[in-house]
Amino acid sequence: MPIEVIAFDADDTLWINEPYFREAEVKFCELLSGYMPPNQAERELFAVEMQNLPLYGYGIKSFVLCLVETALKITDYQIPPRIIEEILGYGKEMLEKPVILLEGVEEVLSTLYGRFRLVVATKGDLLDQERKLRKSGLEKYFHHIEIMSDKKEADYSKLIRHLDIRPEAFLMVGNSLKSDILPVLGVGGHAVHVPFDITWAHEQIDHAVEHANFSQMATIREILAFV
Amino acid sequence: MPIEVIAFDADDTLWINEPYFREAEVKFCELLSGYMPPNQAERELFAVEMQNLPLYGYGIKSFVLCLVETALKITDYQIPPRIIEEILGYGKEMLEKPVILLEGVEEVLSTLYGRFRLVVATKGDLLDQERKLRKSGLEKYFHHIEIMSDKKEADYSKLIRHLDIRPEAFLMVGNSLKSDILPVLGVGGHAVHVPFDITWAHEQIDHAVEHANFSQMATIREILAFV
């Protein structure tokens, strides 16, 4: 069955994202280095994030709420309120970051446009992802944007049902093996992995993927030869 | 042209929501009453919310970030960090509130089910709205849930395009004249207003609505006679 819909992950597949989170994390750990060594603070933050994930979900606002909670914890409630304000400022800054496209993205989308139904399939805050899509200049290539609260098999099944296609007609392109590739293969879709140079610990898996519907690519441009 | 899709606003149309925000606001203003009289604190909060709205959007996480920012401001950065923790706790509590259906909702949905494509069209966080939909037991009646970053005319035009119907085949049901009714009428759809007993200041309008495609109802049950 031919591919009908190609879904693209957004963050670190179409544009740079993870480095902004890392940058904020580094600043945060520096800011509190008088209370705790940075690498330990980073672990505390990750623990708070994982604990809050089922409740908060993904995105910058969740991240900032976790930064505030972690700051309270690692300073043992001795944090000066001005530092809380600085942390809120990190979030606002992230929400206004420029959108920097990854290499080859525009060429790939403009070539595929009109030949497939193209959608964005991403986690995070709707408003923020819409902002990035608008700033990216890529909006014109996409039929619509699908915000997913998570990227597990059930979420992809729902997405594919919503698209009114069979799983075999669905191709997902993304940088996270855990979120963009494995669950898609699990529900019978096709998946292409285009790695980004850094991956959030939560998105890492420690085994290789082998599957008839799976392709590993070095750059997004290779999709053009593939479809 | 007959109605094909009926979209329901979620918060304060299908289930109780605004009272949870009000309750948190009251607790927040009480908590800080040593620094500022409650009614003044409420105004400060509203100002912070309006200022952050374009950046943060709607939903509980945005609300909590605004509570923290307002608390810093009205205590002139003298706030004890334990109070910040209490504020974060308000948000978590809100995210775990029970979902209480409004009267007549289940009867209306079960009657309309199968005769129209029913969708939820709501602002707020996707994860939180999905949680409420799941807890509500209403999920089975809806084709899907549409999370909108805002409810202006352009947002409804996009929604209607996404639904692949003409505006005249779209009926929106909701409690906010500003968000659920006026913009829908503006793009050529039909709209039914079912008021809820309290409305957030940001959603209030001060004029009556008159339009051929508009109906005012006292309870959601009246929809059954209408369609």
Instruction: Evaluate if residue B157 carries a pLDDT over 80.
Output: yes
Q: What is the pLDDT of residue B200?
A: 77
* Chain B partners within 8 Å of A57 (Cβ): 125-128
Who wins on pLDDT, A200 or B191? B191
Mark yes or no for CB contact B84/A84 under 8 Å. Answer: yes
Residue B209 confidence (pLDDT)? 87
- List the single residue in A56, A68, A128 with the smallest CB-CB distance to B84: A68
pLDDT at A25: 97
Return the closest-CA partner of residue B107 out of B132, B141, B143: B141
3-state secondary structure of A121: strand
* DSSP 3-state of B105: helix
Class for domain B18-94, per CATH?
A: mainly alpha
**Which residue type, as a one-letter code, is found at position A193?**
H
Q: A88–B82: do the CB atoms touch at under 8 Å?
A: no
Do A5-16+99-226 and A18-94 share a fold? no
Work out the minimum CA distance from B133 to partner chain A, whole angstroms. 13
Q: CA of B5, closest CA in chain A: separation in Å?
A: 15
Distance CA A157, CA A187 (A): 7
Amino acid at A147: I
Contact indicator for B9, B180 with CB cutoff of 8 Å: yes
Pick from B65, B128, B130: which is nearest to A65 by CB? B65
What CA–CA distance (Å, rounded) separates A19 from A37? Answer: 21
Write down the H helix ranges in chain B.
Answer: 18-31, 38-56, 60-74, 81-94, 105-112, 126-136, 153-162, 182-186, 222-226
Rounded-to-integer distance, Cα A128 and Cα B46, Å: 22
Q: Which CATH class is domain B5-15+100-226?
A: alpha beta
Instruction: Quote the pLDDT of residue A125.
Output: 86
Q: Is A186 helix (H, G, I), strand (E, B) or coil?
A: helix
From chain B, pick out residues whose CB is under 8 angstroms from the CB of A75: 81
**Residues A175-199: pLDDT tens digits?**
999 999 999 999 999 999 999 987 7
Confidence class of residue B204 from pLDDT cuts 50, 70 and 90?
confident
Strand, coil or helix: what is B65? helix
Nearest alpha carbon to residue A122 among A93, A153, A156:
A156
Q: What is the band of B208 on the pLDDT scale with cuts at 50, 70, 90?
A: confident
DSSP three-state, residue B191 = strand
Determine whether the interchain pair A65/B69 forms a contact, defined as Cβ–Cβ distance below 8 Å: no
Residue ranges covered by each domain of chain B: 5-15+100-226, 18-94
The per-residue pLDDT for B147 is 87
In chain A, helix, strand, coil percent, each to 5?
A: 50, 15, 35
pLDDT: which is higher, B227 or A103: A103
CA–CA distance, A51 with A207 (Å, rounded to integer): 25
Report the alpha-carbon distance of residue B194 to residue B175 in Å, rounded: 5
Q: B126–A144: do the CB atoms touch at under 8 Å?
A: no
DSSP state of B197: S
Residue B207 scores a pLDDT above 80 = no
First to last CA, chain A: 12
Q: How far is CA B224 from CA B105, B145, B169, B191, in A?
A: 11, 21, 17, 14
**For chain A, give me the number of helices (H) and strands (E)?**
9, 6
* Token pair in block for residue B149: 């970053």
Residue B82 has pLDDT above 90, yes or no: yes
Measured between CB atoms, does A164 come within 8 Å of chain B? no
| A92 contacts in chain B (CB < 8 Å) | 55
Decide if B139 touches A, using CB distance below 8 A: no
Indicate whether B167 pLDDT > 90: yes
CB pair distance less than 8 Å for B144 and A162 = yes
HSE at residue B13, side-chain half, CA atoms within 13 A, is 28
pLDDT above 90 for B203: no
Give residue B20's pLDDT band: very low, low, confident or very high (50, 70, 90).
Answer: very high
| Residue B198 pLDDT level (bands cut at 50, 70, 90) | confident
Per-residue pLDDT of B95-142, as tens digits, reads 999 999 999 999 999 999 999 999 999 998 889 999 999 999 999 999
Chain A nearest-CA distance from B104, in A, is 28
Chain A CB within 8 Å of residue B85 CB = yes
Please give the sequence-ordered ranges of beta strands (E in DSSP) within chain A, or none if there are none.
5-8, 117-122, 144-147, 170-174, 190-193, 214-216
Half-sphere exposure of B170 (CA within 13 A, CB side): 27
The mean pLDDT value for B67-92 works out to 97
Return the number of other C-beta atoms located less than 10 Å from residue B4's C-beta: 15
Per-residue pLDDT of chain A (227 residues; tens, 9 = 90+): 799 999 999 999 999 999 999 999 999 999 999 999 999 999 999 999 999 999 999 999 999 999 999 999 999 999 999 999 999 999 999 999 999 999 999 999 999 999 999 999 999 888 999 999 999 999 999 998 888 989 999 999 999 998 999 999 999 999 999 999 999 999 999 999 999 987 777 777 777 788 999 999 999 999 999 88
A88 reaches B (C-beta below 8 A): yes
Rounded mean pLDDT, B81-85: 97
Q: Closest partner residue to B61 among A62, A84, A130, by Cβ?
A: A62
Residue of chain A nearest B92, judged by CA positions: A55
Query: What is the CATH number that goes with domain A5-16+99-226?
Result: 3.40.50.1000
Q: Which pLDDT belongs to residue A147?
A: 87
Q: Do A69 and B56 touch (CB under 8 A)?
A: no
Which pLDDT belongs to residue B85?
Answer: 98
Residue B221 has a pLDDT of 95
**B44 pLDDT band (50/70/90 cuts)?**
very high
Instruction: Check A81 against B78: CB less than 8 A apart.
Output: yes
